C-alpha cells in the first residue's frame, strides 16, 4: 500500500486530524516488475548475438581473414547471428503491434482449407528436409471464418514452425480445423515431437521462456513465438491451449469465437 497523509488544520493553525489515503499499488508494482523483466530479457537477448558478432569480427581483423576456410566460417557465424537479431526485432515488433489489441484487426472472410494448405506450402522446404509428413483436415460444415488473415497466418507460422523444430526427422504433423461443442472454431496442430516436460507447461507462453535454451537457439528460436501467438489469438477474443507429453508429442489448439461476417466477438 502507498499511504498519503494530509493534515486537517484548524482555523488557529493547530492540527485537528489527518486524512490518510491508502492506495493498493500491488497491480502497478506487478506491471512495473514485468516491464523491467521484459526490458532486461530483450537487452540480454540482443546483447548475446552482438557480443558474438563483435568477437568474430575481431578474430577476422586479427588475422583470420588471411585463412580463407576459417574466414568463411566466421563470416557464416556473423551472418547467422545477424539473422537471429533481425528475427528477434521482427518478433518484438509483432508483439507490440498486437499489444494494442482488437481495434487493429482487419478481418476478412477466409477459406480455412486454403489458409492451412498455404501454411504447409510455406514450410515445404523444411518439411522435406526433415522428412516430416503433414496432413490437413478441415470439417465441411466449418470451412470459412471471419478473421484477421495476417494475424492468424502469423499464429499458424509460429505453431507449425515449432512443430517442425521440435519434431525429429521422419515424424508427422496433423493440422485440423473444426467447430467444437462450445461453438468455437478449433484449429489444432499436433506433432509427434520431443514434447514438453510437465514442470515447464505452465510457463511455456511467457515471453522468452524456453525449455532448452541451447536447442531453441540452434533451431533459430527467439522464445517469443508462443507469446506472440497468444497475443494475436486473444485479440480475436479467443484462447490457446497446449497439451504435451515428453517424447510423445504436442497438440496446440487455437480456439476462436465464430464471428459473423462483418462482426466482432461478443
Residues of this chain that interact with ligand ADP (CB under 6 A) are: 158, 162-163, 165-166, 191, 193-196, 204, 209-212, 216, 221-227, 250
Smallest distance from ligand ADP to CB 159, Å: 7
Smallest distance from ligand ADP to CB 158, Å: 6
Report the C-alpha gap between 160 and 187 in whole angstroms.
12
**By C-beta, is 90 or 109 nearer to ligand ADP?**
90
**By C-beta, is 196 or 240 nearer to ligand ADP?**
196
**By C-beta, is 131 or 248 nearer to ligand ADP?**
248
**By C-beta, is 196 or 232 nearer to ligand ADP?**
196
Report the C-alpha gap between 113 and 57 in whole angstroms.
47
**By C-beta, is 184 or 216 nearer to ligand ADP?**
216
Smallest distance from ligand ADP to CB 3, Å: 41
Smallest distance from ligand ADP to CB 240, Å: 11
Smallest distance from ligand ADP to CB 187, Å: 14
Amino acid at each position: 500500500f502507498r499511504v498519503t497523509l494530509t493534515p486537517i488544520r484548524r482555523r488557529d493553525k493547530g492540527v485537528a486530524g489527518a486524512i490518510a489515503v491508502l492506495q493498493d499499488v500491488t497491480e502497478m508494482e506487478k506491471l512495473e516488475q514485468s516491464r523491467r523483466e521484459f526490458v532486461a530479457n530483450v537487452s540480454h537477448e540482443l546483447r548475446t548475438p552482438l557480443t558474438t558478432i563483435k568477437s568474430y569480427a575481431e578474430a577476422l581483423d586479427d588475422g583470420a581473414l588471411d585463412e580463407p576456410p576459417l574466414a568463411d566460417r566466421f563470416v557464416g557465424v556473423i551472418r547467422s547471428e545477424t539473422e537471429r537479431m533481425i528475427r528477434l526485432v521482427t518478433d518484438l515488433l509483432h508483439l507490440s503491434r498486437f499489444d494494442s489489441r482488437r481495434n487493429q484487426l482487419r478481418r476478412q472472410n477466409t477459406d480455412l482449407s486454403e489458409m492451412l494448405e498455404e501454411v504447409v506450402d510455406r514450410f515445404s522446404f523444411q518439411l522435406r528436409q526433415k522428412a516430416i509428413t503433414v496432413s490437413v483436415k478441415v470439417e465441411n460444415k466449418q470451412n470459412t471464418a471471419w478473421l484477421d488473415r495476417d494475424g492468424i497466418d502469423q499464429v499458424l507460422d509460429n505453431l507449425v514452425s515449432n512443430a517442425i523444430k521440435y519434431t525429429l526427422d521422419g515424424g508427422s504433423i496433423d493440422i485440423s480445423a473444426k467447430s467444437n461443442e462450445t461453438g468455437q472454431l478449433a484449429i489444432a496442430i499436433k506433432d509427434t515431437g520431443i514434447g514438453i516436460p510437465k514442470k515447464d507447461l505452465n510457463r511455456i507462453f511467457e515471453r522468452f521462456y524456453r525449455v532448452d535454451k541451447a536447442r531453441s537457439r540452434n533451431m533459430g528460436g527467439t522464445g517469443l513465438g508462443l507469446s506472440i501467438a497468444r497475443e494475436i489469438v486473444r485479440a480475436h477474443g479467443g484462447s490457446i491451449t497446449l497439451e504435451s507429453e515428453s517424447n510423445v508429442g504436442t497438440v496446440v489448439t487455437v480456439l476462436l469465437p465464430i464471428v459473423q461476417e462483418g462482426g466482432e466477438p461478443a
